[in-house]
Amino acid sequence: MKQLVRCLAVLAAALASLSAAAQQYPVKPVRVIVSTVPGPLDAFTRIVFEKVAAELKQPFVIENRPGAGGNLAAELVAKAPPDGYTLLAAIDTTFTVNPSIYKKLPFDPVKDFAIISVPVTYGQMLAVHPSVPANSVAELVALAKQKQLTYASGGNGTPSHLTYAYFLATAGVDMTHVPYKGTGQSVIDVVGGQVDTIFAVVTGVLPQVKGAKLRALGVSGTKRSGLAPEVPTIAESGFPGFDASFAYALMAPAGTPDEIVQTLHRAVSHALAMPEVQEKNRLADYVVTDLDPRQSAAWLKDNRERWGKVVSRAGITAD
């Protein structure tokens, strides 16, 4: 009995110590592991955590760990101590798509993480080379039924590939997939006429659309892009309910005290509301969702199910 009392006392002391540490958090610099090379996710993470650092009065040090579709960074964070001092900034596909396209993951996408936020979402723009005789989504679908068209992507399982696979399944047509190692070269080859069409992030193709080097037919999200409000959504173009939105996800290791998760969520939420951050997000064509941990978990679950069906139907696997 005495030994049991002693064990309970030790446990209570440990919990009290953990709670106290959580209340004082952070007391030292925090690492934020970004799952990509410097680019859109990196830029977003840096501006947001610059504001978070100012609010919480500790440095948040950004560290890029790209590779394997975000799996390398996710594994590193999943295995880190759950104390709030190692965080993950990733594209949602690490958690919504990778479970379907990789035979085995070095982490559990649900059980190994505490979700801080799904702060923003973004869509893709459907564009064609000017030589393609289609001025609308409906005309592109009709053309695809008459002749074999090609579409480019940034690689197997990337948002551009997934969006096109989803679109083709929804429209009931087929095209030949031409994958690239990155979106940049894929856009260049559509501009050059080597490939007929592409879905890519709005900021990646809009300059070519404005320069008449590409023609925009639609956007994949539920709302029109603020950067190109004249371009209809795919849903408006004859495919009600179509939504191919992607997001960024901010995570901590599973077991991170809820007080720390909530502290981080509040600080991120405050950062997203700042005018400078709002303007950066507008220029990047991000839709601010600022979902809390519970809402974020539901969003990731819904999209994991959605993309799982798309991947299965299209037979998509990781390179």
* Tokens describing residue 218: 């639609």
96 Cβ contact list (under 8 Å, min separation 6): 300, 303, 304, 306, 307
**pLDDT, tens only, 229-244:** 999 999 999 999 999 9
Does residue 7 carry a pLDDT above 70? Answer: no
Residue ranges, comma separated, of all CATH 3.40.190.150 domains in the chain are 28-121+246-314
Q: Has residue 21 got a pLDDT over 90?
A: no
Q: List, for residues 87-141, the tens digit of each pLDDT value.
A: 999 999 999 999 999 999 999 999 999 999 999 999 999 999 999 999 999 999 9
Paired strand residues for 34: 64, 89
Distance CA(273)–CA(268), nearest Å, equals 9
Please check whether residue 177 is in contact with residue 155, taking contact to mean a CB–CB distance below 8 angstroms. no
Instruction: Answer for the pair 198, 151: CB distance below 8 angstroms, yes or no.
Output: yes
In the block, residue with structure tokens 């960024």: 248
Residue predicted with more confidence, 78 or 7: 78
Residues of the chain with CATH 3.40.190.10: 124-237
Q: Is the pLDDT of residue 9 over 70?
A: no
> CA-to-CA distance for 164 and 140, rounded, in angstroms?
13
- The Cβ of residue 280 has, within 10 Å, a number of other Cβ atoms equal to 15
CA 294 to chain centre: 17
- Candidates 3.40.50.720, 3.90.550.10, 3.40.50.970, 3.40.190.150; correct CATH number of 28-121+246-314? 3.40.190.150
Per the listing, tokens 């680019």 go with: 39
Greater model confidence, 116 or 184: 116
Residue 118 sits at φ, ψ, to 5 deg, of: -105, 95
Question: Residue 233 carries which DSSP code?
Answer: B
**What percentage of the chain carries pLDDT values higher than 70?**
93
Task: Evaluate if residue 16 carries a pLDDT over 50.
Answer: no
Quote the pTM value.
0.87
Correct CATH for 124-237 of 3.90.480.20, 3.90.25.10, 3.40.190.10, 3.30.360.10: 3.40.190.10
Query: Given pLDDT bands bounded at 50, 70 and 90, which one contains residue 14?
Result: very low
Residue type at 203 in one-letter notation: T
Lookup result for tokens 């023609």:
215
